[in-house]
Amino acid sequence: MKSAAIQHLQVLRFTAQRVLHTPVASLLNIIVIGIALSLPVGGYVLLKNVQSLAAQMADTPQISVFLANGTRPDEIAQFGRQLKEHAAIEHIEFVPRDLALRQLQQSTGLADVVGGLTQNPLPDAFIIYPVALDAKKLELLRDDLKSWPKFEHVQLDSAWAHKLEALLRFAQLAVVILAAMLSFALVAITFNTIRLQILTQRDEIEVSKLIGATNGFIRRPFLYFGLVQGLLGGAAAWIIIAASLTLLNYSLGELMQLYGSSFSLRHLSLGDSITLLGFSAYLGWLGAWLSVSQHLWQIEPK
């Protein structure tokens, strides 16, 4: 067990030396892998930030219920009890018509106009905070409330929710397709890199087989090379994304100040960062394994 671990460490050290032996070629491959990975991962990061921003802007969705004129206080109290007991409603607020008029007078700056009214044109209203935030469930609740007596108008602005959900679904699909295509490209890059290494080391491989080296022993350095190259490419992608978000946040901060907001783009979480490095290392290993499996058996000592 200990000797096997020592062998793997020796192969890993040999792989690092091989990467350093061809610094320009290795650096170019790592940069290409980093740029390719940063495209779908950057799209994923932007999607998460857009979802966070949308949640901040939308806050908790509300349904406004305006009561018909002439609704008696005992009827209003009964409606309040029924709404509180509704399974789809988290809590409610009752806004009397007099309070609504005062709020309108304070918020619009039309105190003289509102003060000149002979009667209050505003109805009593309930502000309803639903349990579910899904657009379809909100619309079902709205349609249910429309059927209640004395509920003259039920207002829910759900168009933005449908548009946002559709846009995010489209963007998520685009990111998945882009990630799949670029993952295939990265496997192909590693495949070709390992193929060239096998061809340049053909004589060494033949000699190794002559002295009894197994295919597993010969395959191991190439697999480690692909894994290390993929891992370094993932690290390069992480750096590219971090640098890009830093530059974007600098300009975004000035824009958010104009709107009185402190929103900023968030970087990859620790879990996402580990996933990125692990996935990039796996792609490098997969490309190396495919290449070795394709070409190593063709080399036999003469």
With helix as H, strand as E and coil as C, how does 152-218 read?
A: EEEECCCHHHHHHHHHHHHHHHHHHHHHHHHHHHHHHHHHHHHHHHHHHCHHHHHHHHHCCCCHHHH
Confidence of residue 161 (pLDDT cuts 50, 70, 90): low
- Same domain assignment for residues 52 and 192: yes
- Same domain assignment for residues 185 and 282: yes
- Same domain assignment for residues 167 and 261: yes
- Same domain assignment for residues 49 and 106: no
Report how far Cα 41 is from the mean position of its chain's Cα atoms.
8
Domain boundary among 107, 131, 157: 157
- Same domain assignment for residues 153 and 179: no
Domain boundary among 157, 178, 207: 157
- Same domain assignment for residues 27 and 132: no
**How many domains is the chain partitioned into structurally?**
2
What residues make up the domain containing 96? 62-157
- Same domain assignment for residues 280 and 180: yes
Mean per-residue pLDDT, 203-223: 73
pTM: 0.66
Give CA separation, 122 vs 96, 106, 116, 236, 290, in Å: 9, 15, 14, 61, 73
What are 94's strand-pairing partners?
126
**Cα 23 from Cα 66, distance rounded (Å):** 72
The residues, ordered by sequence, that sit 6+ positions from 138 with a Cβ below 8 Å of its Cβ are: 61, 63, 130, 132, 156, 158, 161
Q: What pLDDT digit, counting tens, does each position of 221-252 carry?
A: 888 888 888 999 999 999 999 999 888 888 77
- Same domain assignment for residues 117 and 204: no
Domain boundary among 141, 157, 173: 157
What are 65's strand-pairing partners?
126, 154
Are the C-beta atoms of 12 and 224 separated by less than 8 Å?
yes
- Same domain assignment for residues 267 and 130: no
- Tell me the longest C-alpha to C-alpha distance in the chain: 108
Q: What pLDDT digit, counting tens, does each position of 91-131 carry?
A: 898 988 778 767 666 655 555 555 556 567 678 899 888 88
- Same domain assignment for residues 167 and 109: no
**What CATH number has the domain bearing residue 106?**
3.30.70.3040
- Same domain assignment for residues 73 and 126: yes
- Same domain assignment for residues 151 and 258: no
